[in-house]
Chain A
Amino acid sequence: MKILVPVKRVVDYNVKVRVKSDNSAVETANVKMSMNPFDEIAAEEAIRLKEAGKADEVIAVSIGNAKCEDVIRTAIAMGADRGILVKTDVETQPLGVAKILKAIVEQEGIGLVIMGKQAIDDDYNQTGQMLAALLNRPQATFASKITINGDSAEVSREVDAGSETIKVNLPAVITADLRLNEPRYPALPNIMKARSKPMDTKTPEDYGVDITPRIKTLKVEEPSKRKAGIKVESTEELVEKLKAAGVI
């Protein structure tokens, strides 16, 4: 079975983002970029499945500008076999990305797609579900545990009510949540070796997909700030204040 892992290049999760002064977007120039953390978890899971003999090949794909090659190389350094870079300077949105991924899944004969449940930049949480719909395949979102049993997979999902387990027929699309695993740090020799691993470069047009954005961003603003509060000196004072505020 081949596993496809889509990886997105996003502003590193440790960066405190700033809104551009013209309110057009969040500043991404001269900001540290990394692989989306949920995609790292997805890549780790795919690589573990290969190491456990449940998969034959792990392919990492990224869609975006030329620099997205970096996150593909990171996935390869972690243990993915090869990469596909779908190069575009158009803003990527979930539906367009899902359409490109569908074409790749069909072309490569992919049995399982594992991807992050959401990207930490646009926070959409859609692409996996959209891909599953376009392929008419089952989906298992917010995965915290994956067990492959022949032609199906049992997946535990982090849901509001606790942990839900569902069974999905393979092929399927699974999206990774935080507790699925702890991704490895690639070893230096693997980082070096990753540079020479095969990488195809494509464009959305190669797949016959129109990725024109459907969602237009009119404005980006800072969220309203909470006004600074006060420090209280004792539990008694705290309880008094809360009583005065009428909340207890």
Chain B
Amino acid sequence: MTVLVIAEHDNKNLKASTLNTITAGTKLGSVEVLVAGSGCSSVAEEVSKINGVSKVLKADDASYENALAENLAILIKDLSGNYSHILAPSNTFGKNFMPRVAALLDVCQITDVLEVVSEDTFKRPIYAGNAIATVQTSDSIKILTVRTTAFEKASQGGNASIEEISSKGDSGLSSFVKLEGSGSKGPDLSSSRAVISGGRGMASKDNFVLLEKVAAKINDCAIGASRAAVDAGYISNDYQVGQTGKIVAPELYIAVGISGAIQHLAGMKDSKIIVAINKDENAPIFEVADYGLVADLFDVLPQMEQLL
């Protein structure tokens, strides 16, 4: 069986999510990777050096610059005949175009694959991760989005060939206008080794600087936030960890002033070590924390900064 993985990238660098997705792919068969972008040669080069990748397909065209779902779906559908499975990371990139591919092929899609049980059977979370379903598809081609935190990152060391494939052009249905990032400093939340997140308890936008100071003392530590903090306007939504934000599973997750709503827990409960700092001893976050500290975060954060 040959499997196609759709690479996530920004035309210059590969996103780490692709590495986890490749690992999921290797459990199903020989992995080929599609790099669709504009001026994306460096990404294709990067992918060719990943262990487990047998071939890189490069579709380099302006119509793929911003990963518009309409254009990607047509390209992937056209390639689909060669593959038993098509995989993409289960994030806002993969979830956008994969169902479109599935519908064009008249097949179902399995979202958020946590585990490959067999070539047609997979585990996935339902009800925000409060239950895990084992599902089986009877479709001839399996369209999967992969929960990246459930799979290790593929290692470096491959030497795959790069094949250029032609563009299917622009659908003319939609166009990119702009992307406004927060210009976030520091490590990427989705792939960092550690995360320190602030919740409503942070009480203001300015107080997030306290988290930044602690993060600066921890190796590869990104800043995150709960939905409550985002909704209160303390920080922008690209920092949000949770069911509707980013799903993370770092080695160390420090939840500061976060009560632990189900939707937040769904985004971080697979972290290796969880620390909770909250002055409410009944906060549900303590139920998932390895180390809980019932204290005022405004005392604890400066102390941590000193001690680290």
Contacts and interface: CB of A to CB of B under 8 A. Distances in A.
Contacts of B91: 160
Nearest to A159: B92
Which applies to chain A's interface (DSSP): helix, strand, loop or mixed? mixed
B51 to A, nearest CB: 25
Interface stretch (A55-63, A77-85, A188-196, A240-248): A240-248
Contact of A130 (B99, B121, B246): B99
Contacts of B131: 17, 19, 26, 220-223
A181 to B, nearest CB: 13
A163 interface: yes
Interface string B92-107: 1101111111111011
A46 interface: no
Interface in A105-160: 120-134, 136-142, 144, 154, 157-160
A29 interface: no
Interface stretch (B27-35, B156-164, B177-185): B177-185
B275 A242 contact: yes
B130 A219 contact: no
A136 B103 CA distance: 10
A221 B262 CA distance: 18
B138 A214 contact: yes
B169 to A, nearest CB: 14
B291 A241 contact: yes
A126 B172 CA distance: 22
Given A129-B103, A162-B238, A167 B95 contact: no
A240 to B, nearest CB: 9
A125 B99 contact: yes
Interface in A204-248: 214-223, 226, 228-236, 238-239, 241-242, 245, 247-248
Nearest to A123: B126
Which applies to chain B's interface (DSSP): helix, strand, loop or mixed? mixed
Interface in B142-165: none
Given A161-B179, A178-B244, A231-B293, A139 B100 contact: yes
A137 to B, nearest CB: 7
Contact of B288 (A158, A166, A226): A226
A245 B174 contact: no
A166 B180 CA distance: 12
Contact of B174 (A95, A158, A169): A169
Contact of B93 (A160, A215, A247): A160
Interface stretch (B37-45, B65-73, B199-207): B65-73
Given A160-B93, A169-B173, A238-B293, A245 B273 contact: yes
A120 B112 CA distance: 14
Contacts of A144: 237
B187 interface: no
Contacts of B180: 162-165
Contacts of A220: 126, 131-134
Interface stretch (B52-60, B80-88, B300-308): B300-308
A168 interface: yes
B135 A217 contact: yes
A239 to B, nearest CB: 4
A229 B252 contact: no
A138 B108 contact: no
B119 interface: no
Contacts of A132: 69, 100
A179 interface: yes
B174 A230 contact: no
B11 interface: no
A179 B233 CA distance: 12
Contact of B96 (A121, A129, A230): A129
Contacts of B135: 215-218
A130 B307 contact: no
A235 B295 contact: yes
Nearest to B69: A139
B177 A238 contact: no
Interface of B: 66, 68-70, 73, 91-93, 95-104, 106-112, 121, 125-139, 171-182, 190, 194, 218-219, 227, 231, 236-238, 244, 246, 251-252, 262, 269, 272-275, 277, 286-295, 299-300, 303-304, 307-308
14 contacts: A26-B127, A121-B126, A129-B96, A139-B100, A162-B237, A166-B174, A172-B173, A214-B107, A215-B108, A216-B138, A229-B292, A241-B291, A247-B273, A248-B308
